[in-house]
Amino acid sequence: MNTNSNLNITTLSLRWIARAASLLSIGTILLFFVGFNPGSVRPREWVGFAFFPAGVVVGMIVAWWKEGLGACITLISLAGLYAVYGWLMGSNVNGLAFIVFASPGLLFLICWLLSKRNFSEVHA
């Protein structure tokens, strides 16, 4: 087995791990909304909701078809969450939970980069 075949197997494996992780992440995020009362959310908090969970979930769904684009949407949404709550609102966003839920986006990004590398090696 040559290096190119190993890269294909790695990319394919990582792609399915990212997809499975995204389903788990999206499912868990949706469980948080059971019994959710939108009236309890202050108007300025809706901006944060646009980034997480909305942007993160949309990014992971897009990544099933367009890995690079979906990964960017997911990771930019995560950064946007920290920017909005941390810097603009002065709230303290602690913990790794947001990063864990968005981590499939990083896996999709790695997969996309590997597939680009594989494509350029095959067509070089």
User: How confident is the model at residue 20, as a pLDDT?
Assistant: 98
What's the pTM? 0.86
Q: Which long-range contacts (CB under 8 A, 24 or more apart) does 13-18 make?
A: 14/107, 14/110, 14/111, 14/114, 15/67, 15/111, 17/107, 18/63, 18/67, 18/104, 18/107, 18/108, 18/111
pLDDT along the chain (124 residues), means of 10: 72 96 97 88 84 96 98 96 78 81 97 82 56
